Chains A and B, each alone.
Chain A
Amino acid sequence: MKLTESQIQDLYAFTRKHFVEHYDLQTELVDHLANDIETMWKTDTNLTFEEARDKAFKKFGIFGFMEAIEQKQKAMNKRYMRYFWNELKLWFRVPQIITTLGLFCVYYLSFSSLYTEFLSVGYYIIIAIWSIFKSVQLNRQFRRRKEKSDKKWMLEEMIYKQAGGTTLVFMSQVYNVFLISDRFSGNFTAILFFSIIFTLLTLINYISFQLIPNKAEALLNETYPEFSL
Chain B
Amino acid sequence: MYICATMSNSKLYKGSLNTIILKLLNENDKMYGYEITQKVKELTKGELKITEGALYPALHKLEAQGLLDVEVAKVDNRLRKYYKLTENGTKETANKLEELAEYIKTMQALVNPKLA
Contact = CB atoms under 8 A, between A and B. Distances in A.
Interface residues of B, number: 28
B52 interface: yes
Contacts of B81: 27-28, 31, 226
Contacts of B52: 32, 59-61
A31 B63 contact: no
Interface in A1-24: 2-5, 8
A225 interface: yes
A36 B34 contact: yes
Nearest to B53: A61
Contacts of B33: 28, 31-32
Contact of B71 (A29, A32, A60, A225): A225
B12 interface: no
A27 B34 CA distance: 13
Contacts of A36: 34
Interface in A59-109: 59-61, 63-64, 67-68, 70-72, 74-76, 78-79
B60 A72 contact: yes
Interface in A34-75: 34-36, 39, 59-61, 63-64, 67-68, 70-72, 74-75
B56 A59 contact: no
Contact of A5 (B32, B56, B77): B77
A178 interface: no
A78 B79 CA distance: 24
Contact of B64 (A29, A78, A229): A78
Contacts of B51: 59-61
B53 A75 contact: no
A70 B53 CA distance: 11
Given A28-B33, A31-B32, A229 B77 contact: no
A8 B72 contact: no
A36 B52 CA distance: 11
B94 interface: no
Interface in B34-63: 34-35, 38, 51-54, 56-58, 60-61, 63
A70 B76 CA distance: 29
Given A31-B34, A72-B60, A75-B60, 4 more contacts: A29-B56, A32-B56, A72-B56, A226-B81
Interface of B: 1, 32-35, 38, 51-54, 56-58, 60-61, 63-64, 70-72, 74-81
27 contacts: A5-B77, A27-B79, A30-B78, A31-B34, A31-B75, A31-B81, A32-B52, A35-B32, A35-B35, A36-B34, A59-B51, A60-B53, A61-B52, A61-B53, A67-B54, A67-B56, A71-B58, A72-B60, A74-B60, A74-B61, A74-B64, A75-B61, A79-B64, A224-B72, A225-B71, A226-B72, A226-B79
Interface of A: 2-5, 8, 27-32, 34-36, 39, 59-61, 63-64, 67-68, 70-72, 74-76, 78-79, 224-226, 229
